[in-house]
Structure 1
Amino acid sequence: MTLPRQTPALEIPVPRLETARLVLRGPEGRDFDAVTEFMMDAGRTRYIGGPVASVFDAWGGFCRVIGHWMWNGFGFWTLEDKASGQAVGRVGLLNHAGWPEPELGWHMFAAGEGRGLAHEAALTIRDFAARDLGLDRLISPIHP
């Protein structure tokens, strides 16, 4: 997929975290294909407002993740598998308008499912949120 030309004007303020198997980092252009595939998958996005109808809509969602970091100082980290260097999902903190508390949520891509990676990342992010951001109350609404 060809992305719009990047002009590096601002650095996204995403702290780099690590777990035993993952690097948790900010979104990068190289992640766009994996994010688009995820966002267009009706099964994976059924309970999070998806799927998107076009690559253009996926681009908007990709940019919203960056905007969330810029606006709130926290957001979704991209999960990079240390062994392969592949983006395998996104886990992070969201501050939805109208919700009572920030949410700890996740989006796992096909390559990251069934390996306990979302749990591993969520524990690390939960600890970071409490220690470094003062966010000691997080919610994770799950569709039954």
Structure 2
Amino acid sequence: MSDAREIQTERLTLALPALGDFDDFATMRADPVVTRYTTRVPVTRSDSWERLIRYRGFWDILGFGFWIVRERQSGRFVGTVGFGENIRGIEPTLDGFPEAGWILAPWCHGRGYGQEAVAAACSWLDRETGHKRSVCIIDPQNRASLGVAARHGFSLFAQSTYLGEPILIFERLKPG
């Protein structure tokens, strides 16, 4: 059964999170390479379970959410990409705007999968929702994510802290 929110790109499939994605998702989030710019420590299976449920729940509550990303040909797990609303309590507030996020498994870093998945997600948001602005936060040391954000129209508009760590806050305005 396919969902209208499934996206196919040249190399990737973006699909709504499902129970069968949990082990790959939890393995990725337990990897210290993956978490060095986000949670700073590997994430437990329990925390990953909560996050997977949240990612799927965004769809029902907000009309947008996160996708699980896999290679089209092999079906190999690539990571996650999408939008949420996290009510982080930071200033300036991000509340009310889709907050973009992307996390990739280490095996595919540097292959352009992040660029391809974020492009597809942003295009979907522009086409399928009425949102004219999206936001994201990035650790100032995360050069790869800074490059992805810049390439897809996110521009720096503030600096803040989140959970005691410095963050850069970006916004992306819908083209046109």
TM-score (norm 1): 0.81
Aligned 8 A contact 1:16 1:23 in 2:
yes
Equivalent residue for 1:82, pick from 57, 72, 90: 72
Tell me: higher relative CO, structure 1 or 2? Use CA pairs within 8 A at least 6 residues apart. 1
Q: Which runs of 5+ in 1 are unaligned?
A: 1-10
2: CA distance, partners of 1:27 / 1:132: 19
Percent of aligned positions that are identical: 34
Q: Which runs of 5+ in 2 are unaligned?
A: 141-176
Question: Cα–Cα, structure 1 residues 107 and 14, in superposed 2: closer, same or farther, change >3 Å?
Answer: farther
Alpha-carbon deviation of 1:75? Answer: 0.8
Alpha-carbon deviation of 1:14? Answer: 6.6
Alpha-carbon deviation of 1:26? Answer: 0.8
SS of match in other structure, 2:69: strand
Residue 35 of structure 2 is matched in structure 1 by 45
Residue 25 of structure 1 is matched in structure 2 by 15
Q: Which runs of 4+ in 1 moved over 3 A?
A: none
2: CA distance, partners of 1:91 / 1:51: 19
SS of match in other structure, 2:137: coil
Alpha-carbon deviation of 1:71? Answer: 1.4
Matched AA of 1:120: E
* 1:1-144 aligned within 5 A: 15-49=5-39, 50-52=41-43, 54-97=44-87, 98=89, 99-100=94-95, 101-144=97-140
Q: How many residues align?
A: 132
TM-score (norm 2): 0.67
Question: Cα–Cα, structure 1 residues 34 and 14, in superposed 2: closer, same or farther, change >3 Å?
Answer: farther
Aligned 8 A contact 1:89 1:112 in 2:
no
Shifted more, 36-45 versus 87-96: the winner is 36-45
Aligned 8 A contact 1:40 1:51 in 2:
yes
Question: What's the RMSD between the two structures over aligned residues?
Answer: 2.0
Question: Cα–Cα, structure 1 residues 67 and 126, in superposed 2: closer, same or farther, change >3 Å?
Answer: same
Aligned 8 A contact 2:100 2:136 in 1:
yes
